Structure 1
Amino acid sequence: MKNKSEVFKFVCLTVFLFYISIINAQNIDINILRDINVNRNKNLDPTFKSVTRSALPISIATPIIMYSAGMIKKDSTIKKQAIFIGETFLVNAFITTALKQVVKKQRPFETYSDIDQVISTGGYSFPSGHTSTAFATATSLSMVYPKWYVIAPSFVWASAVGYSRMHLGVHYPSDVFAGAILGSGSAYLTYKANKWINKKRSKKEK
């Protein structure tokens, strides 16, 4: 009986601490967003609108342009690299969309009236789709061309996309962070999946 009582107390304490940690995390999340959004330089709004709108066009155009270049040059390596980046885009889009439907987190401006929604948007908040898309493209492109002059601009752009989502008041910092992890993870997952498939094919051919 004594052991059961101690276990019950331990479970209650664990649940209580977990609940407190969630509340603190939520407070940190909204406080950081307020610092970025409410106290923002409004003169930069047009710039960050352009940055945020660049995520999808650049992510779609990158593999298409690369594949077209591969066809013109008749270079199968470039075409394979383009397909890998395109596959990463699709994997990321699927996982991001699925997570949004599962979590169904409201946008910050829907919950907090002081958050200024600068750009129109729809759907749920977690994770940030724009951020995950940008990081998926930046990571896959950097894996294909592991040069500093590709890696640095790619991740600066992806980070700017993520920041723009907070500046414009449509995402929490946790949404953006999750999006960055998800986008980069999608590239790694796609790479590993391709490697496994190619290994299976080579075994069959032998």
Structure 2
Amino acid sequence: MKRIFAITFLTCASLSGLAQGWDLKKLEDINLGRNTDMDKPLNFLSNSTDYLAVGFPVGMLAVGFAKDDASLKQEGFQMATTTVMTYGLGYVLKKVIDKERPYVTHPHIQNYKEFSGGSFPSGSTALAFATGTSLSLSYPKWYVILPSTLYACTVGYSRLHLGAHYPSDVFAGAALGIGTAFASRKLNQWVRNEGKKKKLKQQMHE
């Protein structure tokens, strides 16, 4: 767990240090040359990450408890843990790094609207990749993995299109989301194993 957190943090930190010239140039290529007709739908897509990150685990848990489906409840708890970890770590990183939005530092960047919070990492991208990775790990089928990956990548692109983030912010968000999904799975496996060990010890002493 600590190792995964350290790797994720170091990845984010290194991405933050990418050459600013490259970072800004890539953002300009996408943002300044964009099709503005796509601003509204891509903003809608970005906003959907909060609803999906919360909706999926809540829905899975609700159905799991209603049907008394242990597997579905387990996957729901795991996805809920992923969401909480992504929100928490993303918030801490934003506060600690406190990086200005690109349109603040570079006024020629055309932001679709004013975005709250720091620029690094991209929270929307983190949530999209966290949700997509969690679903793909829970249900490793191409018809889950493909749309999940496409959705997450499109959200990442949307943050550049809308002028909300630098490419390094988006890459860091993707790393954070993927990292929390794997960390959550490991954490839940550890908790289940410890529970089984405790139950076995109790049975042996009865």
Instruction: Give TM-score scaled by structure 2 length.
Output: 0.86
Structure 2 distance, partners of 1:164, 1:156, is: 12
Question: Match for 1:122 among 113, 116, 121?
Answer: 116
Q: Secondary structure at the match of 2:147?
A: helix
Q: Which runs of 5+ in 2 are unaligned?
A: 1-15, 201-206
Contact 1:49–1:119 under 8 Å retained in 2:
no
Give aligned pairs, total: 185
Aligned CA-pair RMSD: 1.4
* Offset of residue 111 of structure 1: 0.3
Contact 2:18–2:168 under 8 Å retained in 1:
no
125 and 23 in structure 1: CA distance in 2 versus 1, 3 angstrom threshold? closer
Structure 2 distance, partners of 1:104, 1:37, is: 22
Overall identity of the aligned pairs, in %: 42
1:198 aligns with 2:189: no
Structure 2 distance, partners of 1:189, 1:114, is: 39
* 1:4 paired residue number: none
Letter matched to residue 99 of structure 1: L
1:160 aligns with 2:154: yes
* Offset of residue 74 of structure 1: 2.3
| Relative contact order, higher structure (CA 8 A, sep 6+) | 2
Q: Which runs of 5+ in 1 are unaligned?
A: 1-21
Contact 1:125–1:175 under 8 Å retained in 2:
yes
* Offset of residue 107 of structure 1: 0.3
Q: Secondary structure at the match of 2:19?
A: helix
Q: Secondary structure at the match of 1:54?
A: helix
